[in-house]
Amino acid sequence: MNFVKTADGAHTLYSDRFGEHYHSVQEGALIESFEKHARPAIGIVGFEDKAEINVLDICFGLGYKSLCLINELERLSFKGKINIISLENDRELLAKLAKFEYPSELAIYSKIISEIAKNFCYEDKKVSMQIIINRAERAVKLMEESFDIMFQDPFSVLKTPELWSEEFFKDLYNLLRDDGVITTYSASELVRKRMKSAGFYLYAHNFTAKQKELRKGTIAVKTKLIGKDRICLPV
């Protein structure tokens, strides 16, 4: 595996097939996963009154988003169960994850990573994780679950247009709970137009000054957000 060091010191990989990195090299793999996905999702959905949090991680990749979510919920002393279903079509990548060099914040989950690499699933009293090996646009049409959080993280719209289509977003809309949230790194006008057409209200991440160098990704919800200015701003 040819590790690529990102701005925050965490490593990512380059996909020869898609011609893109799995994370932003300029922003940092760990910062991107925490600040554009895990933390805003938890801030919007909440966790104090939930016995379970159900997550759909679209394009698992190296697993940063799901592992960062687990890390953040542990930091916040979440007492419930974290149920993660992830869509990933690259078996070879998953099989190599046990050899990937994760940052210390995520390396503590080596048992989860090893089980995912070997069996594509993991479960203990606090975490349930299942990888569905299928094309995401096909898999979502077969799903009957509903989700509190969705991480929309395919390669770019130029490389995977089927995962940024209005049809795909409509399928996600049907799977998202009324008080749920979708996070994505994309701030593309085309992507946002399609998300709006699918029925979502859209917001941009409201990063602190320390994180002002990050591109403003997109947050999508089914119900307008009130009092969340600390986390996001309408677009």
Return the HEC string of the chain: CCCEECCCCCEECEECCCCEECCCCCCCHHHHHHHHHHHHHHHHHCCCCCCEEEEEEECCCCCHHHHHHHHHHHHCCCCCEEEEEEEECCHHHHHCHHHCCCCHHHHCCHHHHHHHHHHCEEECCCEEEEEEECCHHHHHHHCCCCEEEEEECCCCCCCCHHHHCHHHHHHHHHHEEEEEEEEECCCCHHHHHHHHHCCCEEEEECCCHHHCCCCCCEEEECCCCCCCCCCEEEC
Mean pLDDT for the chain overall: 95
Rounded Cα distance between 165 and 191, Å, is: 8
pTM > 0.75: yes
Tell me the average pLDDT across 75-93.
97
Residue-level pLDDT at 210: 63
CA dihedral 216, 222, 223, 228 (to 10 degrees): -20
Residue range 154-192, pLDDT digits in tens: 999 999 999 999 999 999 999 999 999 999 999 999 999
Tell me the average pLDDT across 77-97.
97
Residue-level pLDDT at 111: 97
208 against 118, higher pLDDT: 118
Classify residue 77 as left (phi > 0), alpha (psi -120 to 50) or beta.
left
Q: How many C-beta atoms lie closer than 10 Å to residue 213's C-beta? A: 12
